[in-house]
Amino acid sequence: MSAEAAPAAPRRSRFIDRGSSIGLLLVAMPVFLLAWLIIFPIFSVVVGTIFVRGADGATELSLASYRFFFSDRYSLSNLWVTLWTTAVCGILLLAIGLPIALYLRFSQGRLSAYVQAVAIFPMFVPSIILAYALIRTIGPNGTVDLLLNAVGLPKLRTPYLTPWGPVIGLVWDNLPLTVLMLTAGLSSVPNSAIEAARDVGARPLRIFVSIILPRMGNSLLVTASFAVLGIFSAFTLPYVLGPASPEMMGPFMQRTFADMNNPLDAMTQAVITFGICLVFGIFYVRSIARSRETRP
């Protein structure tokens, strides 16, 4: 019996080694593409903004482009508008998406299915179509203005071409993903815990604060990170709906590169934007690592 079982261990070891080799081969190509198309361009741009060609054509170490950005009032105002828009959109997304996710998680029936369909519908609408739909709705002489004029009310002060224009568009555009991620996070809340709390007389607010919210900390962090990364790097909606000055970093980089023909400053703006987004990316990676560590 023991003689027959002895060769089983080396055979299992060879099987594990073969499976590990196949797994490494399967991930080799995606990792190579990731390094080639994402990591290498990032390092190339960072190095290109630090080592620049001088007047004599020689490459030299220089931080002049970064000093210009952080000393230029217009560049700082664009960065501030981007940070403000991202913060406002993130707060509004959580304030709107969390109640919808709670309703979808704990409600059943045809009405909840309709609510879910309406909440997810913007995911299938391209950003450019959404932008022009908002212009025709809340823009000057849009549908809202026509309806207000028909009943004798004053005209709407349109948010179009103001900092609130991109906020409305970005919240509408990112709401489906926010709702889906929060709903997925709520699925980890067991019904037995909620029913037990109700049996002892806990009210809905107490259930939310003491049972639901502590289990959603990781989901809220991941959702906020995705929202910030998507909003901070947005281009179409801020370009179409936002003001010409100040502008968000996406349109600002495009105009600096194409209209002003200044690749160095555009790359500097991209590196600064990437540095800010990297902070939220680290939060996301850490939250994913923590969730894997807590798995049984």
What integer pLDDT is reported at residue 14 of this predicted model? 54
Give Cβ neighbours of residue 197 (< 8 Å, ≥ 6 apart).
206, 207, 210, 211
Prediction pTM value:
0.82
Average pLDDT over residues 23-46: 81
Q: Of residues 120 and 156, which shows the higher confidence score?
A: 120
Asked which of 23-27, 166-170, 289-293 is least confident by mean pLDDT, the reply is 289-293
Residue reference for tokens 């939310």: 208
Average pLDDT over residues 221-227: 83
Name the token pair of 112: 């909840």
Residue reference for tokens 């495009």: 254
For the ranges 28-42, 72-86, 229-243, 266-280, the one whose mean pLDDT is highest: 72-86
Q: How far is CA 52 from the centre of its chain?
A: 32
At what angle are helices 110-120 and 164-186 packed, to 10 degrees?
A: 130
What integer pLDDT is reported at residue 79 of this predicted model? 93
On the CB side of 190, CA atoms within 13 Å amount to 4
- Taking the alpha carbons of 216, 221, 226, 230 in that order, is the dihedral positive or negative? positive
Look at residue 175 and tell me whether its pLDDT is greater than 80: yes
What integer pLDDT is reported at residue 213 of this predicted model? 82
For residue 12, name the pLDDT band (cuts at 50, 70, 90): low
Look at residue 49 and tell me whether its pLDDT is greater than 50: yes
Q: Of residues 255 and 280, which shows the higher confidence score?
A: 255
